[in-house]
Every structure is written in C-alpha cells, then in structure tokens.
Chain A
C-alpha cells in the first residue's frame, strides 16, 4: 500500500477544522446572541443598554485601569532584570532566568492559592490587618506575580539579540550611559516591550480567578462580569464579550500585533 503523501494543504486540515469549530463558529454565536433579544429577534437593545449603563462602562474602565497598573508594574520590574541578565557575562545567568520562569511550570490556580495563604499569614501579623481587606492591592499583586514571566521572557530574548558592537559604537561616538540607553537599548528592545505588554495587558483584563481568590470576590473585572451574565442573561453577556473583543482587537492592533515582521513574539526559551 502506498503511503499517502502529505502536502502542505493536507497538513493544514486539522488546524482548519479546529479553527472553524472552536474559533469561528463560537464567535459567530456570540455575535448572534449579542444582537438578539430573549425571543431571538434581532435587536439593538443590548447594544444600547450597554453604552447607556454606567455600571458596564465602569467595569470596563476598572478592568482597563487594573490591567494598565499590572502592565506598568510588570514592565518596571522585568525591564531591569532582563537588561541585567542579557548584558551580564555571568556563567550562571541561565539559572537566574530559570528562577523567574520556573513558576510558570506550576499551575497558576495553585500559585494564586499559595499567595492567598501568604497574604493571610501576613495579615495576621500586628499592624498588617489592613491587608485582609486591601482587595485591589492584592488583586494587582497577584496579577503582577502571575504575569511577570510573560514580560521578562520577550524582553530578555530581544535584548540578547542586540549586538554588543552597537554599544561599543555608541561609546566610541561619545555617548554616555543614559544616551546609550535612550538611543540604542530602548529603541532596539521596543519589539520586546510591545510583545510583553500584549502578553500581560490582555489576560490581566479578564483573569478573574486572581480577582476572585485574592479580592474576596469584591473586585469585579470584566471577565467575571461576563461570567456572571452568562448565569442569567446570555444576550447581554455576549454583548459585553463582544465589546471586550473589540477592545482587545484595537489594543493588539496598536501594539503592532498584526505586523508580520520577524521579531520575538515567540518568546520561548
């Protein structure tokens, strides 16, 4: 029997099937639900209700702010780490990098639970009682902890690629440390920053496991909001999901996610 020859087209079939059934059709279903009412008639009422309800706008804004703070914190922590790691001549820097990446190998619900217990412990100390009800602080902390590796990795891989001779040239031309950083390192690590931002910003808008477990269910981000709606009103839930989809689309587009140039989106070790 002749073994069938795989062409590129046939190799695509599994993924195409997956794409159709688990991405395209669900999206169409969401779209359909968002623009129908309870009796399945086409209606714009969800759309109008969404944009006239301060609660829903507030929730989106809150999620955006939480995601923004998380992303900024991650960037501020990850950038120096990645810079030092990429530039140092340490023999064991791989070990340090692993220390940052290792938590990613442990289930994240487990990690968040561990943080929860840690916070409980700290909150039981004298003078730390405020921590028990600092729900927003704990949520952001949990998210930063959770998403930090996603920021470090792309930064590290981009910076690793920067040719050392560029720094030498910069020094030759009389640039000091700050100028070199601003005119060489920063612009050249921009793809890594952008990639890191997309990988942190988007999930932190919707990851309500963190906000539920660390925020005592008193912090409602957009992901939780959608989940709640799907318990009662699928149509409004779909509308919120659709709006979120658009927000995500716009932010990905702005951060250059759709460019085909080769950069470090892979972000793998």
Chain B
C-alpha cells in the first residue's frame, strides 16, 4: 500500500516537472510578469525562417542551411547583420548573437534585466480577431499590453478601458525611449490626428487621440492579390488578362461575372462590408479622386470625404449595400480567413482580397515554388493591386488596458521599436513596421530587400520614392516590376496609394447591431416566407404522426384516474399466445 502511494507521489512529481519548466521563461526571484496579448504569428518567434537565422546561415535554393564537411552550418557574411549589428546585440542582450535565431521575447527578458536591473517574465498569448480580443477584455481577463487594430483602439479608448502612455514615454532625450525616436513621422502624424477620423471626446471633454493611448506596431493596406496569368487544372494558360480586367473594374471585380468563383472575400463583417461599400460607391469615389487629382480638392477634404463613404453605417447605406453584399456572396468562390493564400498558389482562384502583409507572404510563397509545409510545387508569379478608387489604410498598435504594468509595457514597446528588432519582426511576419529609424535604418532594410545596384544587370529600375515614410529625399532604386505591383508595392505603398486611403472607424453600439444583423442575413441562406410556412407545417405534421404512432391512443394523461380503491389493470392482448 505504502509502496503504491510513494509511486503515485513520484508520478505526480514527474508530471509537475514539465509544468515548472514551462514557467521558467526567464527565471529568478522577485521577477515581474508582463502579460502580452497579440495576434497569432505576429512576432518573431525564433528558430528557422527568422531574420537572424536566415542572415547568419548560407541557405541553398530550397532554403535549407548549407553544411560544411563536418556537418556544421556554413555561416555567411550578411550585408545587414554585420559586425555593428552583432556588437549592438552583444551590448544590449549581454551575450553573443547565436546563429540559431533567438526568439525576440527571450531577448526582451535579457535586455530588460540588463537595462532596469530586474528580472521579467513575459506571459505571451494570442488571439485571432479583434472581436475575440475585445470579448476577453470585457470578460475581465487581465493583460499589460494588447495589439488591436485602429478601430478597436478607438473603441477601447472611447469606452475608457485603456491607460494613457506616460508623457515621459515621448521624451526623445531619454536613451531607452526608442519608440519616439524611431517611429516614422508619417505614423506619428497619423496617430496624432487619428488618421483623419472624427475625434471623439472622453468624459472630461478631452480629445481621444490615438497617440495618447497607442504606440504603432505594424501598418498596411488592403487590396487584391492576383494571378496575372492563370492556368487551368492541366497547367494550360487561360486566355484572360486578369490585370487589365482588375484595373478596369477596381472594386467591382467582386460582383463582376468574369470573376465568378475566381475571387474570395474575407469571412468577417468589417473587411467585407468595407469592400461592399467600395463596390457600391465606386463611381462616387472615382469622381472624388478625379477632383483631387485635378487639384480642385485638397488632400484633407478628399480624405474626409472618402473616410465618410467608407465608414457609412446609417440605415440607408446599410439597406443600399445589402444587395451588393448578396451579389458578392453569389459571385465569390469563398469567404475565407486563411485559405486564400493556398487557393491562389494552387490556381483555384485568380483574385484574393488580402491584407498587404498576407499579400507579401502569398507572393513570396508562390514564387518560391513551395507549399507552406515545404513541399515542392510549381512556382507562380502573383501580384498585388490596390483599387484606384481608394482602399483601407490600417494600423495595429500597442495599447495598455486599465491596471497594466505601464513601466514594463512601455519598455516592451520601446524594445520592439529598436530598428534592429523591427527588422526581425517585419521579416518574420511580412508586414510593414511603423519604425523608420533615427538613421533611417529601416530604409536600409527596404533597400536590402528590394534595392538594386544600378550597374548590377539589365533589369529595368525605378527610383522608388519613400519620402512620406522616412522623411524627405528617401528613396530606393528598385526593380520596376517590384515597384509597380509586387512585394515592394505591397509592403511600402506608393505615396499615390497612401493619398487615396481611408481608415476604418469603429461602429457605435447601434450601428454595430445593424451591421451584425446585416452580416447574419448575408451569411445565412434566407428562405421565402411561404417556404418557411410549408416546412414548419410539414415538421409539425411529422411530429404529430410520430406522436400518434408512438403513443397510439393510449396517452396516459387522457385516461381518467381510477376511482378510489380500484386499480387500473392493463388489458391483456387477446391474441397473445400464452
């Protein structure tokens, strides 16, 4: 007996050990905990495929490290992870840069302890949609740092659920304030005026500005990933000019019969409603664009107008857009959240409505000729296109919910804002960092990814202007195709695209109810009233028939109770053979 109990104790201890190990991210006594709640796959997680790993290993054509004669990895001289980078790493983290691709969260723990002299542990968890995250917060889950999108930042701030950033966070003279020194002036400007949205007031009548509540992380546009030369299942080219069709149709590609079953929409109400507004009001948007391009409309007026159109949630607009949404549903191949990329690569669809970062990923994947699981596949060239009539400009930013550990949270944001770290995250997830860098380090990074030396070969090159993001005169010499429709164009939109963008506002309570009802009508198949009546009557008839068959005339509750002193005896079946 005793033996057994000891055995049980040992077994329990054995079970407990791994969970203890889990807890010890950066162990030690008196450590503080930073609870970060971020999007899935939205930070450098370390290992293969990360910036540092790829930069420090020589990779063969399949992306696998080249081995030397002794089976060790062949390390390379990287253009960007050079001696200065390595020295920076050693200085900040207090250890040598390992070629195995350290995870950024581990590096943060090292850096924090070196900088502030206190141990820290990061509890990192992820969400799939802004709405999921919002529900978690409302239910009372506590975090120190969240990464919602623009409209959700507004919603959380307006509901008074967020802490303000300290004023000292914006003091550029403090060495640790990397964010304020490195953030792009473009982003800082957008965050200072809520990117042109109506500015709401809080309880005390103070303006609710993004910059007080949020520090930027990633940003981008939405647009179409398209296959310029689609093939049929046997690999024979199909005679359609997708590019020309798409450029002519713009948003209407969603409802145009030429793209029937060849286009996808997002399986969430915000993006698809936005797209439907684009389809419905395209002519109006194009007319505004003409006036703006012709110089009769100022940028601020123009932005205000398109922002109003893309954020209309009044009853009239909703009922006007409903048929458009129904047409979209009829025309598209699927509503998707993550299958679009593989459907594009496999050639099932020609157009995929996507966020710019996902677009970069899809383009990379398609031209690498590999699947997500690393299997070989036919290499396909995909392009990215933003509708001329204007599209969505979006931002994801770090916010601190009420009760957060502000000091640690702000330190985390600052850590991620070091250009060397912004590169790592941007490389890993494919999105565009809000960081420009004091010395325009991120321009070097863009140049390293997409730049060309003029004499290199005969590729047609253009001077790609990034002045709006990095400051005056910033540009890189890039492949003309990259600049026109490929990764560069997706990751760093042209000033022209930026000029024609609108940011999403959040729906207030009432509008939110109306739009969710609209979405449920769109997603569900609606039946005519008569069909419902017929089916309900049939169901009731079947129910009745089943009831009668089951209880056939001997429903107990219809029988009268026997008189007192008598017993109810069930009648024997006379035909029963004894």
Contact residues of A with B, CB < 8 Å?
3, 38, 53-59, 61-62, 64-65, 120, 123-126, 132-133, 216-220, 224-225, 228-233, 250, 254, 256
Contact = CB atoms under 8 A, between A and B. Distances in A.
B535 interface: yes
A54 B335 contact: no
13 contacts: A55-B520, A55-B524, A58-B525, A59-B525, A125-B233, A133-B261, A216-B333, A216-B334, A216-B336, A217-B335, A218-B335, A228-B520, A254-B550
Given A65-B535, A232-B512, A132 B348 contact: yes
A232 B516 contact: yes
B550 A218 contact: no
Contacts of B529: 54
A124 B512 CA distance: 40
A62 B532 CA distance: 10
Interface of B: 1, 129, 131-132, 135, 233, 261, 267, 329, 332-336, 346, 348, 509, 512-513, 516-517, 519-521, 523-527, 529, 531-532, 535-536, 539, 543, 546-547, 550
B282 to A, nearest CB: 24
A256 B336 CA distance: 40
Contact of B526 (A58, A64, A216, A225): A58
A133 B535 contact: no
Given A58-B526, A254-B547, A256-B550, 4 more contacts: A58-B524, A225-B524, A233-B516, A254-B546
Q: Counting chain B CB atoms within 10 Å of each CB, which of A3, A53, A54 scores highest?
A: A54
A58 B335 contact: no
A105 B532 CA distance: 39
Contacts of B512: 232
Contacts of B333: 132-133, 216
Nearest to A135: B334
Given A58-B526, A59-B524, A132 B546 contact: no
A231 B129 contact: yes
Contacts of A126: 233
Given A120-B348, A217-B334, A232-B516, A64 B524 contact: no
Contacts of B132: 231
Nearest to A216: B334
A149 to B, nearest CB: 26
Nearest to A57: B532
A231 B268 CA distance: 10
Given A58-B525, A133-B261, A228-B523, A216 B335 contact: yes
A32 to B, nearest CB: 15
Contacts of B1: 3
A220 B550 contact: no
A58 B523 contact: no
A34 B397 CA distance: 35
Nearest to B334: A216
A120 B131 contact: no
Contact of A61 (B129, B267, B516, B532): B532
B261 A231 contact: no
B546 A58 contact: no
Q: Which 9 A-B pairs have the closest CB atoms?
A: A216-B334, A124-B233, A217-B335, A58-B527, A232-B516, A59-B524, A231-B131, A220-B523, A220-B524
Contact of B527 (A61, A124, A133, A256): A61
Given A132-B333, A254-B550, A54 B519 contact: no
A218 B329 contact: yes
Contacts of A132: 261, 333, 348
A54 B233 CA distance: 40
A124 B235 CA distance: 10
Contacts of A218: 329, 332, 334-335
A252 to B, nearest CB: 13
A126 B233 CA distance: 8
Contact of A217 (B267, B509, B526, B535): B267
A88 to B, nearest CB: 31
Contacts of A38: 509
A204 B520 CA distance: 20
Contact of B519 (A62, A123, A133, A228): A228
B521 A233 contact: no
Nearest to B525: A62
Contacts of A64: 535, 539
Contacts of B526: 54-55, 58
Contacts of A58: 524-527, 532
Contact of B525 (A53, A217, A220, A228): A220
Contacts of A120: 346, 348
Contacts of B520: 55-56, 59, 225, 228-229
B545 to A, nearest CB: 10
B538 to A, nearest CB: 10
B348 A232 contact: no
A228 B135 CA distance: 13
A227 B125 CA distance: 21
A71 to B, nearest CB: 13
A80 B458 CA distance: 71
B131 A232 contact: yes
B151 to A, nearest CB: 14
A217 B535 CA distance: 24
Nearest to A212: B267
A225 B524 CA distance: 8
Given A132-B348, A232-B131, A233-B513, A62 B550 contact: no
Contacts of B539: 64
Contacts of B129: 231
Contacts of A225: 520, 523-524
Given A120-B346, A132-B261, A220-B524, A61 B335 contact: no
Q: Counting chain B CB atoms within 10 Å of each CB, which of A61, A62, A233, A256 scores highest?
A: A61
B199 to A, nearest CB: 25
B261 A55 contact: no
A61 B336 CA distance: 25
B527 A54 contact: yes
Contacts of B509: 38
Contacts of B335: 216-218
Contact of A254 (B513, B531, B536, B543): B543
Contacts of A56: 520, 524
A225 B233 CA distance: 34
Given A54-B529, A220-B523, A231 B135 contact: yes
A58 B534 CA distance: 12
Nearest to B543: A254
